[in-house]
Structures are given as structure tokens and as C-alpha cells.
Structure 1
Amino acid sequence: MGVCMENEPTPSEGNDPGPFYHGTKADLKPGDLLEAGHSSNYGERRQANYIYLTATLDAATWGAELGVGEGPGRIYRVEPTGPFEDDPNLTDKKFPGNPTRSYRTREPLRVVHEILEWEPHSPKMLQEMRNHLEELKRLGIDAIND
């Protein structure tokens, strides 16, 4: 019997059928692999131990809009190449049951195609989220990366 930590992720074991998306500023092509180990798009930009995916276009939109980098935000339909688990950054007591259907994996994600039709958040919502992320940074609260 293991000890369950408050933010310990729950293995999803493929229970979510997808489709899955990844929002980023990177310009990718079908067949490209997104892999963990690059600088995170958020927080202190430490090396990311995971790559993130979601089954909702809204969550992918935040990734496309808030990701670090030049150029337009992009959303890709992706396929996990291995097991994935609930993202503990979005599944603590504030979000029981993973309503954003956000996951993380140590295995690469394969790009299927780019989603060209997606609705950006309003400038007001985007600014509110940036303010919130800036406040977390100021408080020293960084993403769970282990």
C-alpha cells in the first residue's frame, strides 16, 4: 500500500478516448514528435519532465496563447505514443475529476495535423490569465514537474 500525496497524479491508462490536442507557438508538421526535456513554456522555464496534452480545445487554446515564443499560437491534434496520466497542476482540490481533461506523459506526442479553426480567448480573459500566472510566479508557485 503506497502513500498517496495530495498532488500525486492519477494514471489515466487511456481512459480518455480523445481526440487530443497540444497548444504551442512551435511550427510543426504532421509526423513530428513533441518530446519532454525542452524548456517549459511556463513558470521558471525549467527543463520539462513531461509533455502535456488535453482533450479540450479550450485548454489547448490557453497553451497556444500563453506559450513562450515568437509567432502565432498554434493548436495541433496529437496522438500519445505511450501512457499518460492526469496533469496534477490541474487536478488538485480546485479541479476534482479533471474537468479540463488535461494530461501529461513522458512519452512523445505525434503530431497528426494542425487545427486551423479555433476561437481565441478575449483580450480581457487573456490579460486576466496573464495576471494570474504573474501572481503565481511572484508567490514562487511553480508548476509540478516531477
Structure 2
Amino acid sequence: MDDETRDESPVSFERYDHVTGPFFHGTRAVLEVGDELVAGHVSHFQEGRVLRHVYFTSVLETAVWGAELATALVGSDERGHVYVVEPAGPFEDDPNVTDKKFPGNPTRSYRTVEPLRVVGEVDDWQGHPPEVLQGMLDNLAVLRAEGRDVIFD
């Protein structure tokens, strides 16, 4: 479905079937096809915070940010990973980037309490220039310093 015909209706655990993939997940974790991403892991964005959801997107660029930030936030200069995933159950709009912070869901980001199964990896994704990545890290640091790095989980 292209952007012109995509259903922009809110996505909820009760109404998610109108959202089609492919879906992506960006991370620093090394995974294999068939592996499952599950809730209960520590957040890359808040130290010590265990997440009740698994997050994913239908926009490759959003997953690239996830991969880059996941590695940069732990001080690694390794390249992260962008996986193609399939949700095993219902999902909803990610409130961290939807109406609580931005109108709609411009990054087409979602979350689920069910596993995401890895069905492939995107090897040829393009990262951001170092200065752009540093700008994002600086913005995250400001949010953290101001106590505005809230994760709705």
C-alpha cells in the first residue's frame, strides 16, 4: 500500500489488521532468521528500564535510527542491525512517537507484547553522517537532562 492509499486510522490492539509490512526492527543485537524478539529487555534509551513491549516500524529509516542509537548509546562504534520482522500477535501505535508527542504516527512505529519473529536482515541500509547522529544524541541528552526522556511503556 503506498502513502496515498495507506489507512491512517489509529492502530490499537483491537484494530491493527489494516497495517501492512514489511516491518523492521533496528538494534545492536545479533540475531538470526527464526529468532524472536520478546518484551522484558532493558531499554537502550533509559538505563535499567525493562520494557514491557517490543517496538517496530514499517519505515526503514526509523529502524535505521533504532540501530544507530542502540549502538551509540552504549558507546559502541559497531554497526547496528536492521531486521525484517513479523509480529506474532496484535500491536498498537507506539505512544512515544504518536499523539502524546507528535500528531498521528509519522514514523509508523508500533509496539506489541507478543514476540516479533526475525524473517530477514537488511544489510545495505545507509547510516546517517556522524554529525547528524551526534545531533540526535545531543537532543536525547537535553531531554534526559530536562527530565523529558519519558518512555510510555
Does the aligned pair in 1 maintain the 2:11–2:93 contact within 8 Å?
yes
Partner of 1:20: 23
Match of 1:85 among 78, 88, 92: 92
* Cα distance per residue 1:48-100 (max 9 Å; x no partner): 11110000011000110000454321100000001110011101365212011
Partner of 1:5: none
Partner of 1:123: 130
Match of 1:64 among 67, 85, 94: 67
What is the aligned-residue RMSD (CA, Å)?
Answer: 1.7
SS in 1 for 2:24: strand
| 1:3-18 mapped onto 2 (5 Å cutoff) | 10-11=11-12, 12-18=15-21
Deviation at 1:35, TM superposition (A): 0.5
Q: Which runs of 5+ in 1 are unaligned?
A: 1-8
In the alignment, the residues of structure 2 paired with residue 45 and residue 65 of structure 1 have an alpha-carbon distance, to the nearest angstrom, of: 20
Deviation at 1:13, TM superposition (A): 1.4
Does the aligned pair in 1 maintain the 2:83–2:119 contact within 8 Å?
yes
Identity %: 54
| 1:23-62 mapped onto 2 (5 Å cutoff) | 23-62=26-65
SS in 1 for 2:82: strand
User: Which deviates the most, 62-71 or 13-22?
Assistant: 62-71
In the alignment, the residues of structure 1 paired with residue 149 and residue 47 of structure 2 have an alpha-carbon distance, to the nearest angstrom, of: 7
In the alignment, the residues of structure 1 paired with residue 18 and residue 63 of structure 2 have an alpha-carbon distance, to the nearest angstrom, of: 19
Please say if 1:101 is aligned against 2:108.
Answer: yes
Q: Which runs of 5+ in 2 are unaligned?
A: 1-9
In the alignment, the residues of structure 2 paired with residue 94 and residue 35 of structure 1 have an alpha-carbon distance, to the nearest angstrom, of: 25
With normalisation by structure 1, the TM-score equals 0.87
With normalisation by structure 2, the TM-score equals 0.83
In the alignment, the residues of structure 2 paired with residue 49 and residue 24 of structure 1 have an alpha-carbon distance, to the nearest angstrom, of: 17
SS in 1 for 2:151: coil
In the alignment, the residues of structure 2 paired with residue 15 and residue 132 of structure 1 have an alpha-carbon distance, to the nearest angstrom, of: 33
**How many residues are matched?**
138
Does the aligned pair in 1 maintain the 2:11–2:91 contact within 8 Å?
no
Does the aligned pair in 2 maintain the 1:48–1:145 contact within 8 Å?
no
